[in-house]
Structure 1
Amino acid sequence: MLTRKQLELLDFIKQRMDRDGVPPSFDEMKDALDLRSKSGIHRLITALEERGFIRRLAHRARALEIIKLPDAMEKPGYTSGGFTPKVIAGDKPATPPGPPRGAMVVEAVHAMELPVMGRIAAGVPIEAISEVSHHVAVPGSMLSGRGNHYALEVKGDSMIEAGINDGDIVVIREQTTADNGDIVVALVEESEATLKRFRRKGSMIALEAANPAYETRVFPDHLVKVQGRLVGLIRSY
């Protein structure tokens, strides 16, 4: 049985992972639950982990994985939508309660091949990406809605506090619009591509890093073109 705050936090983490593909920061969790300090979030995270609802991925900033949901959140009509894990821990197996010892279970996983379009800068923008370097298999459950998807290898650490590390593969849904707070692939001045959080302020576009070592870059809106939105993350160990 979860407390009301534990359930609220689990629901908020799930919604943000469904929307952005990565967990929220501790500051975002604190604000969402109207807590005064992050220590309360630490206690709630620990309680959820001890009860088997989430797992913290070692040595990764903001890396959480939802293992299961309470029955109430999985019933039809629940307003936050279905459960779709967005973080894949490479070849590391998940460890929820399994079948009796000696039982054999075969689970079919639907996967799709996506083109990896090269490397995307999570730091100082690099040249626009246009050529396929290789392909990667992505679980079909990670692909959000209709439309084309592609993958990019992350270069740099400017999005580390969004749980996106150097060397990760990000799954991008191809689209030309974005809402404030979305993590997007942005083409700057027709020549540079970067992975940043999108903010529109009137006729200006702010591309925000998730690392205090990097400054927010602001451009007139006609100089920035959204090329896709982050919908998933693949990490190998």
Structure 2
Amino acid sequence: MLTAKQHELIQFIQKRLEETGISPSFEEMKEALDLKSKSGVHRLISALEERGFIRRLPNRARALEVIKQPEASTPAGRQAPANDVISQVARKPAAPEPANDVIEIPLHGRIAAGAPIEALEGQSSLPVPAALLGAGEHYALEVSGDSMIEAGIFDGDFALVRRVNTARDGDIVVALVRNEEATLKYLRRENGRIRLDPANGAYDPQIYDEHEVEVQGKLAGLLRRYH
């Protein structure tokens, strides 16, 4: 049997999903249930998850899915009302899957938009609006340098990269050079060699043999923070 607060929370989540397709934030749940802190929300969510009523969707922020509704019984400590709201909710059609509004993607360190520097593998993640990404696997890199400013890519931006190992001429790619250093540049093929072109007249193209360059991804979007 669920507690009154657990009943109240699952109804609130279900209603928000039906109205917007997006699960409520922890702050919104705290206010709706008149709780003093978000830790109370975490405890309720964990209890509902353990009992199989809801689940958290992986790699998404604010993503909860209601798997099943409580049976039409009175929550512990509360008298059943004449017109049972739980029964009404249980009879409603299943809610649509929560909108994929924000996705957590791996943040793999920094990448040069200048002279090549190492792209470090890291354990961090970056929340990204799903509208900026298409199909496929993605990761993020923080841009260091100014060699791509004429393409609108600035120092401190986050490059959103779709993981691929091939690209067409003119694509902006993450190129691993000599299996040591990675850089963000335009890719072009010229006379059997690879040319990595900057988007800044102050920098010269970098030319390598084909076996020296490995494409590790193609630019899919950018995030910029304003301070």
1:113 counterpart = 2:142? no
1:206 counterpart = 2:187? no
- What fraction of aligned residue pairs are identical, expressed as a percent? 54
Mapping of residues 152-167 of structure 1, within 5 Å:
152-167=141-156
The number of equivalent residue pairs is: 128
The whole-number CA distance in structure 2 between the counterparts of 1:214 and 1:233 is 22
- Taking only aligned residues, the RMSD between alpha carbons, in angstroms, comes to 1.3
- Which fold has the larger relative contact order, with Cα–Cα distance below 8 Å and residues 6 or more apart in sequence? 1
- Give TM-score, length-normalised by structure 2: 0.54
SS class of match (2:201) = coil
- Give TM-score, length-normalised by structure 1: 0.52
Quote the offset at 1:141 in angstroms.
Answer: 1.6
The whole-number CA distance in structure 2 between the counterparts of 1:208 and 1:133 is 30
SS class of match (1:178) = coil
1:124 counterpart = 2:123? no
1:143 partner letter:
L
2:109 partner letter:
G
SS class of match (2:150) = helix
Unaligned residue ranges in structure 1 (runs of 5+): 1-107
Mapping of residues 62-211 of structure 1, within 5 Å:
110-127=101-118, 129-145=119-135, 147-211=136-200
The whole-number CA distance in structure 1 between the counterparts of 2:129 and 2:170 is 25
Quote the offset at 1:202 in angstroms.
Answer: 3.5
The whole-number CA distance in structure 2 between the counterparts of 1:125 and 1:156 is 10
SS class of match (1:185) = strand
SS class of match (1:222) = helix
CA deviations 1:49-85 (Å, max 9, x no partner) are: xxxxxxxxxxxxxxxxxxxxxxxxxxxxxxxxxxxxx
The whole-number CA distance in structure 1 between the counterparts of 2:123 and 2:215 is 21
Q: Higher Cα Rg: structure 1 or 2?
A: 2
Contact 2:110 2:120 in 1 (8 A): no
Segments of 4+ moved more than 2 angstroms: none
